[in-house]
Amino acid sequence: MADAQAWTMGMDNGALREPVAPSLLGTAELSPKGDFEAGSFESFTLTYTAGRYGIDDSGSLRICFRFASDQSNPQFTDPKAPGYTTIEASNGAVLQTRFDPKGNIRPWDRTLWIKVVKGFLERGDRITIRFGDQSQGSPGLRLQTFCEESFEFRVLADPIATFNFQTLPVQPTIRIVPGPPDRYVAVLPTLREVGQAFPLKVKGEDRWGNPSDRCDTTLRVEVVGPIGGAPAEVTLKPGQRALEIPGLTGTAAGEGHLILTDKTGTQYRSNPIRLEAAPAFLHFWGDLHGQSEETIGNNSADAYFRFARDLAFVDACGHQGNDFQITLDFWAELNRLTASFDEPGRFVALPGYEWSGNTALGGDRNVYFPEEGRTIRRSSHALIEDQSDLDTDCTTAGELFEAFARAEEWDVVGFAHCGGRYADIIQAHDGRFEKSVEVHSSWGTFEWLVHDAFDAGYRVGIVANSDGHKGRPGASYPGAGLFGAIGGLTCYLMPALDRPTLLDCLRRRRHYCTTGGPTGRLILDVRAIFDADATIYAHDPALGPSEGVSGRKALMGDIVHLPEGGLELAVDVSAASPVERIDVFNGRDLAATLRPHGEADLGRCIRVIWEGATYRGRFRQVVWDGSAKVTGDRIQGVVPIAFLNCDKTLDRVGDDGLAWRSVTTGNLAGFEMQLEDGRTGRLQIETPLLNVDIPLAEIGLEDHVTEAEGELPRLIRICRAPDTRTALTFGGTVRPELQASGDNPLFVRVTLADGTRAWSSPIYVYRA
């Protein structure tokens, strides 16, 4: 924490001052201290002892927690519920208390506010706060679900009742550590050349997705497919959070995977790896978008990059701190870190930042540089005291792009994304710099942003990242907070792993992306085969001179002039979860749906999915807490889909019912249930937003969709599925109908049985 504070303001009310002596402001002590398991229920006593000033009548304390923390909120009314908190003054002064999630300056905005409303405190008087008071039956305060080296109970005092809150110079802290392993994860590359060496990477994760250092097991390794050099066993010892085994190779062209089996017989399947004799590209995975504690995230920027490389097993990472919190000193530190972590062939660390303008000024944009030492052009200096570089600010997204052009920084690459503020790419976009839009992150799924680009005629790629604030780039689980989804990943198709090649890949839009998670590293290949010769461009000819090549095949990201004739779009998917469907789109329009099963394969399995977001802004969550009841049939089994937040559960209610707690922010969740008969009776679903009542006999291959009115889609879709799924590899071809004028952005969206989704960057085909 001390390192982080060196890069941020010293005062939480916006004033930069020298530390005030504890003898004046007072002190805070916490009990117990030490290490505590992420997501566990605990009870803490924080004792504030007044200093020389005491606290005057109407003076206050604030105890603040970071924005990203998903611990249970303090509450004062239900002594048996989580988070029950009691507060008292040693001298009997009357205190007024409230909890406000936006009660202080970010990132310390989650605030317990304690105000003296009758009486006052003298030096030595105490205020005692019992977080998670268990004396009357409360389980305690549920700690945040992710790890933190120095979790702070930040105490601020306003002793003179001037509303000038000052931070105590010494703060109480604890350490939040992983729990025991709940599952094991095995990661391989997804595309390599036959004979090329590659590693196997293994870790155990606790129930919240934290890499666990409490593993003590030996896993048996089974090889499936042409993989050589794999060990017969893998042993994880206490203290290890991950293990890398080098020296595996592909022995022949084909596909393979590994199966790890623990001592209970539970199996854990790796992602698939494709092995080719002479691949034009290899696959490298990245998460280029997230923050650390120096801005609004958790844990240090140094720990952020180490997690991405060593524990999330990604090949590329970028730090995207909010520009209005990045001081000049921290900008220099970020540049030092990206330079030190960047290691061609092993790991790419991209310099950059998040331009964080309000939506009315263009909305959030990601900015990446090929080298350190570039100018940071901020949207504002909102949380930066030093105004010496105010003249470099760009207060609108349009001004930002103009500044890059004036400086001839043609090597800058940017994305548009939706986080707290969403990008208005209709208002501002420059294809010379802004090469992609982010369709998915921890904040949810945002296909509407892709549609905005198509409507405006932009030729952009599609990426997914975490935009994570929990210090887990590349493996950012939703936890228990307002982040509704797991963080995404992008697969880059490149001949080598280094900065210039990655940035060239981004400029060519040669990548696909997924919603991440346990089965997120799937293999996706999309190619267009033309009936006649076409001119294929890597760089958009609408933006300036671009040299095309003649050919009859194109890959994702290509821009193609096809004067006549049609095309066949070939799609190929391999994954660790069975393929549910492949939707093929021409822009907004669904051109075709490919499924590995047909009507004859359907059984007694009913698939129910809910998805959507309320609107584009911050508070987009849709609450789907609901129930299902089957009449005239019985439920034999049920499998949850995308229930990745442990607080959101799906439960059986007798032989004919289900109940669940679920939230979506554009992403999806749901279940598959196996029925005794599957054809008789009815299915009734009730949620706060939508209700469905349908005869089971009417549920077939095609979706039955019930949709709510609103700015964005919010819907429930129901279909019938095979009783057994085996299609881990699936593909097909489609002949989409082409528009005679304008672009035909041809791309696919893959949905796996477990709810994982993937999007290819479009192939842009045009006539004129």
Distance, in Å, from the CA atom of 296 to the CA atom of 144, rounded to the nearest integer, reads 15
Confidence of residue 2 (pLDDT cuts 50, 70, 90): very low
| 65-122 per-position pLDDT tens digit | 999 999 999 999 999 999 999 999 999 999 999 999 999 999 999 999 999 999 999 9
pLDDT at 7: 39
Distance, in Å, from the CA atom of 77 to the CA atom of 97, rounded to the nearest integer, reads 11
pLDDT at 157: 96
Q: Are 583 and 749 in contact (CB under 8 A)?
A: yes
Give this prediction's pTM: 0.95
Average pLDDT, the chain: 95
Helices (H) and strands (E) in the chain, counts: 7, 57
Distance, in Å, from the CA atom of 365 to the CA atom of 417, rounded to the nearest integer, reads 6
Which top CATH class is 2-177? mainly beta
Q: Which H or E run includes 328?
A: helix 328-341
Location of each CATH 2.60.40.10 domain in the chain: 527-595+732-766
Range of lowest pLDDT (13-22, 203-212, 582-591, 699-708): 13-22
Please check the confidence at residue 541 and state whether its pLDDT lies above 50.
yes
| 124-180 per-position pLDDT tens digit | 999 999 999 999 999 999 999 999 999 999 999 999 999 999 999 999 999 999 999
| 655-686 per-position pLDDT tens digit | 999 999 999 999 999 999 999 999 999 999 99
DSSP code at position 406: H
Confidence of residue 1 (pLDDT cuts 50, 70, 90): very low
Please check the confidence at residue 762 and state whether its pLDDT lies above 90.
yes
pLDDT at 101: 93
Q: Which residues contact 275 (CB under 8 A, 6 or more apart)?
A: 191, 192, 193, 194, 225, 226, 227, 250, 251, 252, 253, 254, 255, 256
Location of each CATH 2.60.40.1510 domain in the chain: 2-177
Q: Which residues contact 701 (CB under 8 A, 6 or more apart)?
A: 595, 597, 598, 599, 602, 719, 720
3-class DSSP string for 268-298: EECCCEEEECCCCCEEEEEECCECCCCCCCC
User: Residues 474-511, buried b or exposed e (16+ Cβ, 10 A)?
Assistant: bbbbbbbbbbbbbbbbbbbbbeebbbebbbbbbbbbbb
Distance, in Å, from the CA atom of 506 to the CA atom of 312, rounded to the nearest integer, reads 21
Mean pLDDT of 208-218: 97
| 681-711 per-position pLDDT tens digit | 999 999 999 999 999 999 999 999 999 999 9
CATH 2.60.40.1930 describes domain 183-276: yes
Q: Are 593 and 584 in contact (CB under 8 A)?
A: yes
Q: Are 710 and 622 in contact (CB under 8 A)?
A: no
Q: Which residues contact 609 (CB under 8 A, 6 or more apart)?
A: 641, 668, 669, 670, 716, 717, 718, 755
- Name the fold adopted by 527-595+732-766: Immunoglobulin-like (2.60.40)
CATH 3.90.25.10 describes domain 288-517: no
pLDDT at 480: 84
Q: Are 692 and 626 in contact (CB under 8 A)?
A: no
| 483-498 per-position pLDDT tens digit | 779 999 999 999 999 9
Q: Are 333 and 325 in contact (CB under 8 A)?
A: no
Could you give the count of Cα atoms lying within 13 Å of 492 in the half-sphere of its Cβ? 27
Location of each CATH 2.60.40.1930 domain in the chain: 183-276
User: Residues 741-751, buried b or exposed e (16+ Cβ, 10 A)?
Assistant: eebbbbbbbbb
Instruction: List the end-to-end C-alpha distance of the chain, in Å, as a whole number.
Output: 58
Please check the confidence at residue 17 and state whether its pLDDT lies above 80.
no
pLDDT at 21: 72
Confidence of residue 419 (pLDDT cuts 50, 70, 90): confident
Q: Are 609 and 669 in contact (CB under 8 A)?
A: yes
Q: Are 505 and 329 in contact (CB under 8 A)?
A: no
Please check the confidence at residue 11 and state whether its pLDDT lies above 50.
no
Location of each CATH 3.20.20.140 domain in the chain: 288-517
Please check the confidence at residue 9 and state whether its pLDDT lies above 90.
no
